[in-house]
Amino acid sequence: MADHYEVLGVDKSASPEEIKKAYRKLAREFHPDVNPEPSASDRFKSVTHAYDVLSDPRQRQEYDQGGSAGFGGGAQGFGGFSDIFDTFFGGGAPGGGGSGAAPRSRKERGGDALLRVEVDLDEVIFGTKRDLEVNTAILCDTCEGTCCAPGTRAVVCDICHGSGQIQRAVRSLLGNIMTSSPCGTCRGYGTVIPSPCPTCAGQGRVRATRKMTVDIPAGVDTGLRLQLPNQGEIGPAGGPNGDLYLEIKVKHHEVYSRNGDDLMATLEVSMVDAVLGSRVRVDALDGELDLELKPGTQSADIITVKDRGVSKLRGGGRGDLKIGVQVVTPTKLSGKEQELMRQFAGSHKSKAPHLAEFQQGLFAKLRDRFLHV
């Protein structure tokens, strides 16, 4: 009895890749369809059997330990058969699942859908609801997803006999080999529909406008996508629905802007109110606010109102409302007003005009202060 390693012409320390390479070379050389010599058939069987044993880690271990694993018989194992295909065709045995493959299901998952929804800034604070109309695929009421006309049903394909696969014999160097491919008559479903539903043309679904109400949570921002599972299109033949995605766009507000969970606005005050101080009532997005201007308020000062910003999308709570002050200097004064200003200037000792470090514009200053308060 020849040693399996000697049959393949490899050392006992050969790697699996080296064993496979040696087998492929010898299989091409001694296959009966390639080599007509009488001894080629026996040599081919020995080569294949040696490879069957040495390519299986368990059998190889038993063989190396002096056991009887793999002795006797020709190329019986599936591993050798598969590698013969690999040797001559560059891949595994054709047909994948072969005759055991199940036919395709007509039911498939529906596609996902994307809608863009605009919301106002004040709606973002506490969340809102939206009534939507979605042009989508819904279940056909006529056939209820069977794809068949009323009173009819799908029948077993008389070509593939319900398997969805066609078996064909292909001649090769190894003789006749069975291959498997989807049935062209039933397209792999295993059944055919003699009388398709006239409403959906045998699809089991139709296009329609579906109305729905969705919740827009507080704290959403432009670009955020909300996933609504199973609210997308229904699949062919009544398959499961896909998902619906809502892409949010927050509309621009004339007064308030947003920085994360904080709201920002600018408050214009008169020079007198800034100098003497005052109480001011303003309209916030969620109700009125009373603000206190301290005497000597300067442009670009920030008034922070806690917990009057946007509700946080995660974690609860709200951001802050930050109001930047802009002191407005009057440009037109009456004669009396000018005289009062002169009297004020005469009684108030202020620094004479002088050069100082360059200052950014008001809005740039406000922006920087907003971000660091």
| Contacts for 149 with CB less than 8 Å, ≥ 6 apart | 143, 195, 196, 197, 198
pLDDT in the model for residue 206: 97
Q: Consult the annotation and say whether 143 binds a ligand.
A: yes
pLDDT digits (tens, 9 = 90+) for 287-337: 899 999 999 999 889 999 999 999 998 878 999 999 999 999 888 888 887
pLDDT > 70? residue 128: yes
* Lowest-pLDDT choice from 47-56, 57-66, 125-134: 57-66
Cβ–Cβ contacts within 10 Å for residue 294, how many?
11
Segment 349-364, tens digit of pLDDT? 666 665 655 555 555 5
Neighbouring-strand partners of residue 25: none
Q: Which of 29-43, 80-94, 230-244, 272-286 has the lowest mean pLDDT?
A: 80-94
User: Averaged over 68-93, what is the pLDDT?
Assistant: 41
pLDDT value for 56:
84
pLDDT for residue 181 = 86
CATH fold, domain 4-93, is: Helix Hairpins (1.10.287)
Name the pTM for this structure: 0.62
Q: What band does 79 get if pLDDT is binned at 50, 70 and 90?
A: very low
Q: Dihedrals φ, ψ of 246, to 5°?
A: -110, 120
Q: Where in the chain is the domain with CATH 1.10.287.110?
A: 4-93
Region(s) of the chain under CATH 2.60.260.20: 97-252, 257-372
Q: What's residue 138's pLDDT?
A: 96
Q: What pLDDT is recorded for position 66?
A: 66
Average pLDDT over residues 341-354: 70
∠ CA 12-16-21, nearest 5°, is 100
Q: Is the predicted pLDDT of residue 234 greater than 60, yes or no?
A: yes
**DSSP secondary structure of 225-270:** EEEETT-SPPBGGGBPP--EEEEEEEPP-SS-EEETTEEEEEEEEE
Is 140 among the annotated ligand-binding positions?
yes
* 186 marked among binding-site residues: yes
**pLDDT of the residue at 51:** 85
User: Is 148 part of any known ligand binding site?
Assistant: no
User: CATH for 257-372, among 3.40.50.1820, 3.40.50.720, 3.40.190.10, 2.60.260.20?
Assistant: 2.60.260.20
The pLDDT assigned to 352 comes to 62
Q: What residues are paired with 328 via a beta bridge?
A: 270
Structural class in CATH, domain 97-252: mainly beta
Three-class secondary structure of residue 308 per DSSP: coil
Residue 147 known to bind ligand: no
Is 160 assigned to a binding site? yes
- In tens, the pLDDT along 245-283 reads 999 999 999 999 999 999 999 999 998 899 899 999 999
At residue 86, does pLDDT exceed 50? no
Q: Is 197 annotated as a binding residue?
A: yes
pLDDT of residue 26: 87
How much is the pLDDT for 25? 87
